[in-house]
Amino acid sequence: MIVPMKKYVFAVHHAAYRHFLDELQELGVVHVGKSSEKTAGSEAAPLNEEAARIRYTLDQLNRFREEDTPDSRINLAPGEIIGQTATLLKQLEAGRSKLERLIEKTEIRAWWGDYSESLIGGLQEAGVPVSFYVVPAKKFNPAWPDEYPMEIISRLDKEIRFVTFGVSGEMFEGARREDPGKQTVASLTQEIRLTEQQIAAAERELQAMASGGIRLLQQRLEEIEVRLEWLDVWDNLTTRIGEGAVHLLEGWVPVTEEARLKEYLNQRAVFYLDSAAGPDEKPPVQLHNNRFGRLFEPISRLFSLPAYTEMDLTVYFAPFFMLFFGFCLGDAGYGLVILLGATFYKRFAAEKLKGYLVLGQLFGASTLVMGILFGTFFGIELAKVSALSGVKELFLESSQVFALSLMVGAIQILFGIVLRIKNQLRQAYRWQALSSAGWLLLFATAGLFAFLLKGEALSPVLKMTEKFLYAASVLMILFFSGSGPLHLRLVGGLWEMYNTVTGIFGDLLSYIRLFALGIASSILGLVINQMAISFGSAKYIGPVIFILFVVVGHTANLAISSLGAFVHPMRLTFVEFYKNAGFQGGGKPYQPFSKQRNHLSTT
């Protein structure tokens, strides 16, 4: 459900307004929003710059943060952390660049080997230049060794290296000179080890800085964001009247927090006006669901929050989503793995992850139940297991699974229309709910007379009732689908009828994907088992190959199928169900003016 909001307007004398904002932010219950204008005051500019430096430093330090290492304490101010981190990063970058150059030099020198630098220097002083060349093998001229004093050092498939003595100028077409450097391979290797030690030391210091500094930087960033929000309210969201003598501020408060706010306002004798949301106003949205519904709120937020005047559909799509996940994965073995894995990890996980793990438990339990109904356990067809021959009639066949997917889809679509009626009754144009009720009446009439009583001899009263119900449903659809004059309603009703008739069958057929994904997962599991048995027949290593194939194959199938089992129910929810429920969305989250930066829009 959506928590009702009340609009408050505060009027405060300019001399007390700063203190009022401080206390209002400390109270943390009033949503004042954020302006589209950038706060350009003298205090905001350096704060924005500091925040940018902190965010950059946090991004860098997070690369060196070790997950399993507890946070340590360091006696540094945030500015010192930023400065020392920047210095360490420069050292690290310089060390890595130096290491690359040294490795490149070592590789080049290794090709030429160790030679006497003093001998080369003596030849150079005596007027005998010594040059080192590399040439592609296909461009090497076999006549060069006979024409010039030279020595071939290495001959590979692609390159040839040689040294010339007493040859000046570019005599060797296609060859390039190479400088082996004056350091030996041994000295270069020693320098590489020293550089690697320096890099490791810088990385250790950055890890220590991350362990103790990230928390301090986050705290400072939170302080800056709190102050910038205060400045935004002061500069951009405050209305000044009476030549600035009185400052006005508007905000929204959940009715659940009104008592706290009014207690404060009465204690401080602050003048205020409160009112309910008007039809053209858009208050922020705060969701308040039961424990089961809260688990699925992260999924609903992937699409959009409902508008303030709408219903929150989270608790209504949650059971279907859980069912669809199990339907798409459709293997009892995979469901058991997810259920046990989520249950085990929940014992050690952080508190913020436990809600997601409970969701995993529900998905695993749903998959376990649906897998048993479908008769699949790690790709094994349970109906063909001799030990289960007595209960094989309980397992559904493919045609039954297909029919079940369409049946579940029809139920969700009709349920969505029911919710649309309930939602429309909350809006300004309540009579439009009659159009949705007309569709329900039309489907119910068709189901009764075209399917249940098909082929039956109907009495005159039933025939008259059938015609009356069809006519009533069509008239409700035609004349209550829109607003305005009667002829415009008729045009809108015809358009609505065309769109619904052509779209409802497409929506229904979309639920076939539940059947298709479940079958695909089962078939892949069956193929993995068959291939494992085939390779497992090899002598000696057969059992090892069998186990590896089963473990790796089913792990990959579980990962891929789980992704599809999450994405496709999400599509069915956000497209088919939301559309038939008349969901509009676009709500902005309730984010109170508060010193707590992690305020949620749900409770």
pLDDT at 318: 92
pLDDT at 456: 67
5-13 β-sheet, strand order: 239-241, 246-254, 5-13, 271-276
pLDDT at 601: 42
Mean pLDDT, rounded, of the chain: 86
Average pLDDT over residues 352-378: 90
pLDDT at 395: 82
Residue 115: closest CA among 183, 187, 179? 183
Residue the block writes with tokens 């301090």: 216
Task: State pLDDT tens for residues 459-508.
Answer: 787 778 878 887 887 777 776 766 666 666 677 677 777 677 767 778 88
pLDDT band with cut points at 50, 70 and 90 for residue 113: confident
Asked whether residue 602 carries a pLDDT value surpassing 50, the answer given is no
pLDDT at 603: 42
Percentage of residues of the chain with pLDDT beyond 90? 35
Per-residue H/E/C for 75-110: CCCHHHHHHHHHHHHHHHHHHHHHHHHHHHHHHHHH
AA identity, residue 189? T
Asked whether the beta carbons of 159 and 134 are under 8 A apart, the reply is yes
d(C-alpha 84, C-alpha 549), whole Å: 50
Task: State pLDDT tens for residues 9-43.
Answer: 999 999 999 999 999 999 999 999 887 776 666 78
Asked whether residue 44 carries a pLDDT value surpassing 80, the answer given is yes
pLDDT at 25: 92
pLDDT band with cut points at 50, 70 and 90 for residue 195: very high
36 or 542, which is more confident?
A: 542
pLDDT band with cut points at 50, 70 and 90 for residue 534: confident
Task: State pLDDT tens for residues 558-586.
Answer: 999 999 899 999 999 998 888 888 888 88
Residue 423: closest CA among 311, 549, 331, 498? 311
pLDDT band with cut points at 50, 70 and 90 for residue 52: very high
Residue 6: closest CA among 281, 267, 229, 271? 281
Residue 373: closest CA among 411, 404, 407? 404
pLDDT at 597: 66
The tokens of 35 are what? 């302006």
Residue 476: closest CA among 468, 466, 465? 468
pLDDT band with cut points at 50, 70 and 90 for residue 600: very low
Task: State pLDDT tens for residues 381-412.
Answer: 887 777 777 777 788 888 888 889 889 988 99
pLDDT at 66: 79
In this structure, the chain runs to a length of 603
Q: Which residues pair with 261 in a beta bridge?
A: none
Task: State pLDDT tens for residues 431-472.
Answer: 677 777 777 787 787 777 766 776 666 778 777 887 888 788
d(C-alpha 518, C-alpha 359), whole Å: 20
Determine if residue 242 is left, alpha or beta; phi over 0 gives left, psi from -120 to 50 gives alpha, anything else beta.
left
